[in-house]
Structure 1
């Protein structure tokens, strides 16, 4: 999937501008990098559009993921994107749905399995069969 297609789908799902969707995408992927193990970040980056690959760079000094829940994830995305938490939460959902379309199903499952149960309301829309066809 091309970068503009990815951001365009996030914009459509969130009802925001392309610029806001790009910021939500950037912030969500940067926060996801914090939350995943280094190896998984590299696997995910390999399947992403080139402009987004640069956001997915694990800390070379640390393989382990930073452990935090969904509320902290949304708060970090909110700060990084400069939006309120409701907008950030919707953006995270939209990015997960778009990720599901952009990468292989197996890789998406590898990402989701590293997230705790409290991420369910943000990730489950992406797991619905219809999400992969949008």
Structure 2
């Protein structure tokens, strides 16, 4: 999957007004996921995504000092996405679900299963719900 197709899928599924909104949702979700995943797994995931999108996972050390493999729960995940995306919490949850759904379609070899298994159940639910799952 190419960058433009990826962002277009996020924009369409999340019903976002602009590509910029889709870019922000993608960046916010993947930077936060990159902080939560072990560094090697984040790197493996990034390698299967378009370069521009994979870079969001590789930026695992943020200005706040957050880094790879950091332990935090769903509430903290959503808070970080909310701040980065400039969205309210319900929108951040939905946009994250959409981004993770598109990521799952872009990668092969059971990698999303490994990503999901590395996450606690409360964050794992964001991966499994997708864009059509029940809202929570």
Same fold (TM over 0.5): yes
Q: How many residues were matched structurally?
A: 125
Q: Contact (CA 8 Å) 2:117, 2:124: kept in 1 or not?
A: no
1:117 corresponding residue in structure 2? 121
Residues of 2 paired with 1:38 and 1:63: CA distance?
A: 9
Q: Contact (CA 8 Å) 1:45, 1:53: kept in 2 or not?
A: yes
1:56 corresponding residue in structure 2? 57
Q: Describe how 1:53-132 pairs up with structure 2 within 5 A.
A: 53-57=54-58, 58-59=60-61, 65-126=69-130
2:13 corresponding residue in structure 1? 13
Specify whether residues 74 and 32 from structure 1 end up closer, same or farther in structure 2 by C-alpha distance, changes over 3 A only: same
TM norm structure 2: 0.84
1:39 aligns with 2:40: yes
Specify whether residues 49 and 86 from structure 1 end up closer, same or farther in structure 2 by C-alpha distance, changes over 3 A only: same
Residue 71 of structure 1: how far off its partner (Å): 1.3
Residues of 1 paired with 2:98 and 2:67: CA distance?
A: 27
Runs of 4+ in 1 over 2 A off after TM superposition: none
Q: Structure 1, unaligned stretches of length 5 or more?
A: 129-134
Residue 121 of structure 1: how far off its partner (Å): 3.5
Residues of 1 paired with 2:111 and 2:67: CA distance?
A: 18
Specify whether residues 120 and 64 from structure 1 end up closer, same or farther in structure 2 by C-alpha distance, changes over 3 A only: closer
TM norm structure 1: 0.85
Instruction: Give the superposed CA RMSD.
Output: 1.9
